[in-house]
Amino acid sequence: MALDDLQCPLPLSNYPNVTLGHGGGGRLSQQLIEGMLRPALSNPALDVLHDGARLAVPSGQLAFTTDSYVISPLFFPGGDIGSLAVHGTINDLAMCGAQPLALSVGLIIEEGLPMTTLWRIVQRMQAAAQSAGVAIVTGDTKVVERGKGDGIFINTSGIGIIPAGITIDPRRAAAGDLVLLSGPIANHGIAIMSVREGLAFETALESDSAALHGLVAALLAAVGEHVHVLRDPTRGGVASALNEIAQAAGVGISLDETAIPLDEAVRGACEMLGLDPLYVANEGKCLALVAREHGEAALASLRAHPLGQRAAIIGHVQQDRPGRVTLRSRIGGSRVVDMLSGEQLPRIC
Amino acid sequence: MALDDLQCPLPLSNYPNVTLGHGGGGRLSQQLIEGMLRPALSNPALDVLHDGARLAVPSGQLAFTTDSYVISPLFFPGGDIGSLAVHGTINDLAMCGAQPLALSVGLIIEEGLPMTTLWRIVQRMQAAAQSAGVAIVTGDTKVVERGKGDGIFINTSGIGIIPAGITIDPRRAAAGDLVLLSGPIANHGIAIMSVREGLAFETALESDSAALHGLVAALLAAVGEHVHVLRDPTRGGVASALNEIAQAAGVGISLDETAIPLDEAVRGACEMLGLDPLYVANEGKCLALVAREHGEAALASLRAHPLGQRAAIIGHVQQDRPGRVTLRSRIGGSRVVDMLSGEQLPRIC
């Protein structure tokens, strides 16, 4: 990749690996920040202050979100912890109906992490942020002893602007709403599992990691206030996300299994691994609950976007069975889709 | 402490310790969040959304900051990782001249952390936030395997409002400015070291961990735009903070050792441990660079606040020796106070 051809501006001969001193707040910390992190993540807001960033904002509704990323391995088919951390927090903002304004980055590095690994990760963070048109404006770096961390953990927090008139809230789910899904599920979780388990498939299985704020902007431009709920089905998958919404709003949600987009290769891998794709994590998909009469317009707006070409209406909200998600299966039966119990795929994000 | 008498609303019999499943996004995650974290941190903004918080903001200048806390041990004289994480991020906002509006919390928990420890920590976070009048509005919880973390790491990010007319910026340090310090230094670092080293002193040594936004508000109310730079001397201490300012502004800073407030017990402990108090971390102190003609008014405003009673003017900014901090010592000589090299006290915050 072209990203890997860029030379790290910090000479790596003296310190090929991160040391505790790089987190100590003194000269080594300054070298790491000024020599690598600031050049990699450079933008006007980041370059000024020390303790935080200063941003001009219009009055109105602001969204504020945080997420830590502990994914293992750090690099995986279709992504890496750095770009995932940028995409994931942009997506959390998007799921509030907000367009992202700025991100922060908090790095917790294990002593001994190769500097070249850190350099690759921060380059990918910056590439993801630039591609999404969002600036990383403030950051923090800590180092913990070998054996007290696992390579690197990344927290990204974000702030975004919610357009006037938009109120996305799980409690707005109402009987009759249609449930839209922006594309095929389970790709992220299966990509991670296939690396961890050393599985090789005929078709390359890649994470769907992507920033969804453009897709959400298109949806809101099309049907605006008629979007009641947005949710990205990450940990716990579509099943857990919809269960949370059903519980928050005190409504039932009925899904049609045949309508849920799923790649054949992912279906096969799920069967092989004994995983239900409804519970597998996604990092570039969006659920939208939309007033029924605006469902087709919403679907069209999603499908017109590159990240929503395979969007589908997968179910609807009902008064029956409040707090429950049910699935009409391929063979005609109906079953309850419960929340995920325990941990299906640890450290998937 | 009264805080420890509060019963955790989550029954601890089935899960006395945090498991990987508590980070999986399913039922156990929901139990942890709904049964412990949300009740502990409850406030109106936190109670609504899933992926982020919605906040009304006025137009203007917003400060945005992030910090991760990896301090060891988790509980120490005068504080704990939870209240420290709240104070530290409030202070980063205050050092931008901002009054805090909202905080986020990202928890990275090591599998096996006792639930009662987590409960104690989140209660202390909430107590610190309530005492400071700032709401924790959004959060995230991840769990990593035993041996891949160290109990708990906490990221807090924050947003705050910068009053109109206030521009705090290290590049505003100008020759003639006075350097004010809000109180005695090195208490935090020495309190942590004394626990780690198992040292007992005649006088109890406690961390100075405190939220400084009230002190900064008092200072800004008194001398407003004449405050040029604010900085809390945490990792790397007063020496590293002032070196960074000297370098950012291309000015020299001259300190008077006899003017720097230092508790006798802390001085003794520093001598015993071979530490220079100028390099030891503080978590409740503030450096302010103020236009000379407003120095006395600034000092009076600090001293009138409970957290600034022992404030002092400890030096001044000069054109000589740009990028350098020098110290006129107790015995009359002058020496360069360099940046901290390497790591003096690992995991001090």
CATH, residue A22: 3.30.1330.10
Domain count, chain B: 2
Q: Is residue B348 assigned to a domain?
A: no
The predicted pLDDT at position B136 comes to 94
* Alpha-carbon separation of residue A319 from A255, A256, A289, A308 (angstroms): 14, 17, 15, 29
Which H or E run contains A219? helix A213-223
Average pLDDT over residues B164-184: 96
> How far is the alpha carbon of A1 from chain B, nearest alpha carbon, in Å?
30
Same domain, B85 and B223: no
Q: Is residue A13 assigned to a domain?
A: yes
Interface size, chain A vs chain B, as Cβ–Cβ contacts under 8 Å: 301
- pLDDT band for B48, please (50, 70, 90 cuts): low
Please classify residue A250 by burial: count the beta carbons closer than 10 Å to its beta carbon, then call 0-12 exposed, 13-18 middle and 19+ buried.
exposed
Closest CA to B166 of B125, B227, B207: B227
Q: What percent of chain A has pLDDT over 90?
A: 78
What is the tens place of the pLDDT at every residue in A175-218?
A: 999 999 999 999 999 999 989 888 777 777 999 999 999 999 99
Q: Which residues of A touch B150 (CB under 8 A)?
A: 144-145, 148-149
Closest CA to B328 of B179, B160, B146: B179
Same domain, A19 and A81: yes
Average pLDDT over residues A269-298: 96
Same domain, A17 and A148: yes
Q: Look at the pTM and tell me if it is higher than 0.90.
A: yes
Q: Is residue A4 assigned to a domain?
A: no
Same domain, A152 and A182: no
Of A23, A142, A339, the CB nearest to B30: A339
Average pLDDT over residues B126-151: 96
Q: Is residue A349 assigned to a domain?
A: no
Q: For residues B161 and B59, is the Cβ–Cβ distance under 8 A?
A: no
Same domain, A182 and A249: yes
What is the tens place of the pLDDT at every residue in A136-157?
A: 999 999 999 999 999 999 999 9
Q: Is residue B341 assigned to a domain?
A: no
Q: Is residue B266 assigned to a domain?
A: yes
Tokens for B144, please give them: 């990593």
Q: Which residues of B touch A66 (CB under 8 A)?
A: 104-106, 138-140, 155, 157
* Alpha-carbon separation of residue A73 from A90, A170, A198 (angstroms): 21, 32, 12
The predicted pLDDT at position A13 comes to 82
Task: Inform me whether the pLDDT recorded for B228 exceeds 70.
Answer: yes
Domain's final residue, options A113, A134, A162: A162
Q: Which of B30, B157, B325 to mutate to test the interface with A (most CBs of A within 10 A)?
A: B157
Q: Which residues of A touch B60 (CB under 8 A)?
A: 56-57, 59
Task: Inform me whether the pLDDT recorded for A231 exceeds 70.
Answer: yes
Residue of B nearest to A281 (CA): B25
Same domain, A147 and A289: no
Domain's final residue, options B162, B197, B220: B162
Task: Inform me whether the pLDDT recorded for A311 exceeds 90.
Answer: yes
- pLDDT band for B57, please (50, 70, 90 cuts): confident
Residue appearing with tokens 């995986």: A76
Same domain, A107 and A222: no
Question: Residue A138 and residue B248: Cβ atoms within 8 Å?
Answer: no
How many CB atoms within 10 Å of residue A225? 15
The domain in which residue A196 lies consists of: 170-336
Question: Residue B150 and residue A153: Cβ atoms within 8 Å?
Answer: no
Same domain, B91 and B237: no
Q: For residues A66 and A89, is the Cβ–Cβ distance under 8 A?
A: yes
Question: Residue B341 and residue A27: Cβ atoms within 8 Å?
Answer: yes
- pLDDT band for B64, please (50, 70, 90 cuts): very high
What is the tens place of the pLDDT at every residue in B74-112?
A: 999 999 999 999 999 999 999 999 999 999 999 999 999
Question: Residue B63 and residue A52: Cβ atoms within 8 Å?
Answer: yes
The predicted pLDDT at position A233 comes to 97
Residue of B nearest to A144 (CA): B347
Task: Inform me whether the pLDDT recorded for A4 exceeds 90.
Answer: no
Q: Which range is least confidently modeled, A64-68, A196-200, B15-19, B71-75? A: A196-200
Q: Which range is least confidently modeled, A46-50, A122-126, B74-78? A: A46-50
State the average pLDDT for chain A. Answer: 93
> How far is the alpha carbon of B226 from chain A, nearest alpha carbon, in Å?
18
Same domain, B83 and B177: no
Of B68, B232, B339, the CB nearest to A27: B339
Q: Which residues of B touch A155 (CB under 8 A)?
A: 66, 68, 106, 108, 155, 157
Average pLDDT over residues B253-266: 97
The predicted pLDDT at position A224 comes to 95
What is the tens place of the pLDDT at every residue in B294-307?
A: 999 999 999 999 99
CA B180 to CA B75: how far, in whole Å? 30
Q: Which of A18, A62, A64 to mutate to test the interface with B (most CBs of B within 10 A)?
A: A64
Same domain, B149 and B204: no
Question: Residue A65 and residue B59: Cβ atoms within 8 Å?
Answer: no
Closest CA to A264 of A255, A253, A272, A256: A272
The predicted pLDDT at position A48 comes to 60
Task: Inform me whether the pLDDT recorded for A226 exceeds 60.
Answer: yes
Who has greater pLDDT, A240 or B48? A240
At B182, which CATH number?
3.90.650.10
Of A96, A150, A159, the CB nearest to B148: A150
The predicted pLDDT at position A256 comes to 98
Q: Is residue B207 assigned to a domain?
A: yes
- The DSSP line for A223-251 is HGGGEEEEE---TTHHHHHHHHHHHHHT-
Q: Is residue B345 assigned to a domain?
A: no
CA A202 to CA A269: how far, in whole Å? 11
Q: For residues B108 and A107, is the Cβ–Cβ distance under 8 A?
A: no
Residue appearing with tokens 């519980």: A247
Residue of B nearest to A237 (CA): B25
Domain's final residue, options A129, A162, A195: A162
- pLDDT band for A11, please (50, 70, 90 cuts): confident
Question: Residue B28 and residue A234: Cβ atoms within 8 Å?
Answer: no
> How far is the alpha carbon of A2 from chain B, nearest alpha carbon, in Å?
30
Tokens for B160, please give them: 């705050």
Question: Residue A159 and residue B62: Cβ atoms within 8 Å?
Answer: yes
Q: Which range is least confidently modeled, A32-46, A232-246, B18-32? A: A32-46
CA B323 to CA B100: how far, in whole Å? 31
Task: Inform me whether the pLDDT recorded for B341 exceeds 80.
Answer: no
Strand ranges inside chain A, DSSP E: 53-57, 60-69, 75-76, 79-80, 99-110, 135-144, 152-162, 178-181, 227-231, 252-256, 287-290, 312-318, 325-328, 334-336
Task: Please give the ipTM for the structure prediction.
Answer: 0.95
Same domain, B280 and B320: yes
Question: Residue A64 and residue B279: Cβ atoms within 8 Å?
Answer: no
Q: Which range is least confidently modeled, A1-5, A63-67, A236-240, B279-283? A: A1-5
Question: Residue A236 and residue B24: Cβ atoms within 8 Å?
Answer: yes
Same domain, A276 and A311: yes
Average pLDDT over residues A223-227: 97
Terminal alpha carbon distance of chain B = 23
Residue of A nearest to B166 (CA): A54
Q: For residues A214 and B3, is the Cβ–Cβ distance under 8 A?
A: no
